Amino acid sequence: EAQVTQNPRYLITVTGKKLTVTCSQNMNHEYMSWYRQDPGLGLRQIYYSMNVEVTDKGDVPEGYKVSRKEKRNFPLILESPSPNQTSLYFCASSLTGGANVLTFGAGSRLTVL
């Protein structure tokens, strides 16, 4: 089944404790992206990747890092999480080139205490 898989789905952590949210897709998609969803703000893009080793900032990149060493994986790294990063995170992927439909993962709900 074609899908985007995120882990963990739920995580409670404390300020400053590094964490990684993994994202993997099995559709051979070139484009991958991370969004965060907050009440009243909708979804906002954190980082994106056009292909392997090509990543760039989205609209809200502060406090996050990403890497794209393999086509299928696009982990989101929080080096020193803070409470304002408490949010619902979605990974998404698509065939690149525009006018393509993003396929979303199931979401990862992160709470930073």
Partner 1 sequence: AQSVSQHNHHVILSEAASLELGCNYSYGGTVNLFWYVQYPGQHLQLLLKYFSGDPLVKGIKGFEAEFIKSKFSFNLRKPSVQWSDTAEYFCAVNGGWSYNTDKLIFGTGTRLQVFP
Residues in contact with partner 1 by the rule CB under 8 A: 31, 33, 35, 40-45, 48, 50, 56, 58, 90, 94, 96-102, 104-107
For residue 1, give every residue at least 6 positions away whose Cβ sits within 8 Å of its Cβ, in sequence order, or none. none
Phi, psi of 25 (to 5 degrees): -125, 145
State the nearest-atom distance from the C-beta of 103 to partner 1, in Å: 8
Shorter beta-carbon distance to partner 1: residue 16 or 21? 21
Closer Cβ to partner 1, 77 or 104, answer by number: 104
Q: Minimum Å distance from CB 93 to partner 1? A: 9
Tokens 């989205």 belong to residue: 58
Token readout for 55 is: 């990543």
Q: Which residue bears the tokens 């990974």?
A: 91
What does the alpha-carbon distance between residue 32 and residue 48 come to, in Å, rounded to a whole number? 6
Rounded to a whole number of angstroms, the minimum distance from the CB of residue 80 to partner 1 is 26
Would you say 86 or 96 has its CB closer to partner 1? Answer: 96
